[in-house]
Structure 1
Amino acid sequence: MKTDGGTDAAKRRAGERAAEDVEDGFVVGLGTGSTTAYAIEAIGRRVGDGLAVQGIPTSFQSRKLALEVGIPLTSLDAVASIDLAIDGADAVVDAPGSDAHGTLVKGGGAAHTREKLVDSAADRFVVVADPSKLTDRLERSVPLEVLPAAHTVVADRIRDLGGEPSLRAAERKDGPVVTDNGNLVLDCTFGEIEEPATLADRLSALPGVVDHGLFVGLADATYVGTDGGVEVRQY
């Protein structure tokens, strides 16, 4: 993987630290994104050294990388449980004492529906991040995966909730982003989100919403790569 300085080195440290938690015989959820990619590569190296694991990818991207590095793959309906999920985040609330501490915003790669499915099914879910993803106030836009026929209706309901929706446009092609599930993505801004659990419930209740990028109460720990090593936040 191409490196680009200190931030990339921090991502690598976080990803490789999470890969150390994988034990022989584990079923591992493989998240999506640049930091998680380092974990997948590290797990692949351990598989090459004899580690026996099975991976469940959360996107085409993570599946492709896992196959490239030699991780045997399986699916949710073929296993009894997931031992560990490793995934990144676009934002992690780092505010000890706050009800929002450990809340994540995911979906920058439009894979949050499958990520939430796999991460919530795991016995343990570890987030990997660099310090730029930490925030004491949750102000980032929230991605929603929506059925194509419902995106205008959902957009109206988001406005009713005080948000401002924007249909995510694709790069290097005309038209909107289409998820691995064949749906569209609305990026919704709400200003500062003081009660993420309440907003999460309201978004989940909207007809036409497949899932949203607020991950509330799912993470067990965040591994934060730094210049000097890895800091661990336990929740």
Structure 2
Amino acid sequence: MNQDELKRLVGQAAADYVQQNVASGAVIGVGTGSTANCFIDALAAIKDRYRGAVSSSEASTARLRAHGIAVLDLNEVDNLPVYVDGADEIDAQGHMIKGGGGALTREKIVASIAREFVCVVDASKLVPVLGAFPLPVEVIPMAQAAVTRALAAQGGAPALRRTADGKPYLTDNGNVILDWSGLQIEDPVALETRVNQIPGVVTVGLFAQRGADICLMGTPQGVQRATYRA
């Protein structure tokens, strides 16, 4: 199977997991990106079981609504039984790099109130050490230069993310993203804490303090499941 087929396979597996483990009438947390899109497409077949979804991006909101799935504001929801999202990298402890699609802050907010984080990836995303994928850092625009210097002082090479026409990429929140390359992240929890303390940083795309509880990984042999937290 190619990568797109693996993503569809794991997206369907996530929808099956939700159907088997989440009571009807619940609200489902939904992430952003190509694998999350496959989950949204599969979720559409069982949408009548659930009250709706909370979305982590404008793009996912549009896809959910196109399937006739109600999208609720997070402020209207007391709790989420599950949050399903992809990752750019995941390690053997369930720590992740996320934010390649630019939705890291909203993803982290939604994940923070979910009882269970189900990560959906293809096997190429499993790594022994995080950092080959550039680490996204969402930054308030006026702090771009200051944060760039602060990150560079710790090693690696932070660079402003740009659109295809060369303009600064802006998140749904109106902020910029620095993609921090050249890292080997031996202690993801410590780095997440340290970067989040830099003035001007909105959040860093390390999901280590609140990592995945379960990973559903698409492989040529089928979907493999890893559990990190009881």
Question: Taking structure 1 as the reference length, what is the TM-score of the superposition?
Answer: 0.91
Stretches of structure 2 that go unaligned for 5 or more consecutive residues are: none
Q: 1:210 corresponds to which residue? A: 202
The within-5 A match list for 1:58-77 is: 58-77=56-75
The within-5 A match list for 1:48-59 is: 50-59=48-57
Structure 2 counterpart SS, 1:139 = coil
Tell me the CA shift for residue 163 of structure 1: 3.0
2:56 alignment partner AA: T
Shifted more, 136-145 versus 56-65: the winner is: 136-145
1:149 alignment partner AA: M
Q: Residues of 1 paired with 2:138 and 2:78: CA distance?
A: 27
Out of 186, 195, 200, the position equivalent to 2:187 is 195
Q: Residues of 2 paired with 1:190 and 1:206: CA distance?
A: 19
Tell me the CA shift for residue 161 of structure 1: 1.6
The within-5 A match list for 1:53-132 is: 53-94=51-92, 101-132=93-124
Structure 1 counterpart SS, 2:49 = coil
Q: Residues of 2 paired with 1:148 and 1:68: CA distance?
A: 32
Question: Taking structure 2 as the reference length, what is the TM-score of the superposition?
Answer: 0.93
Q: 1:26 corresponds to which residue? A: 26
Q: Residues of 2 paired with 1:120 and 1:168: CA distance?
A: 26
Out of 175, 178, 181, the position equivalent to 2:173 is 181
Structure 1 stretches of 4+ with a deviation exceeding 6 A read: none
Q: 1:160 corresponds to which residue? A: 153
Instruction: Write the deviation string for residues 135-190 of structure 1: whole angstroms up to 9, x where unpaired.
Output: 0121232100000000000001111222321000112x341100000000000124
Aligned length: 222
Identity of aligned residues (%): 39
Structure 2 counterpart SS, 1:20 = helix
Q: Residues of 2 paired with 1:71 and 1:83: CA distance?
A: 17
Tell me the CA shift for residue 53 of structure 1: 2.8
Out of 3, 23, 31, the position equivalent to 1:7 is 3
Instruction: Write the deviation string for residues 21-60 of structure 1: whole angstroms up to 9, x where unpaired.
Output: 323112111100111111111111112xx32331011111
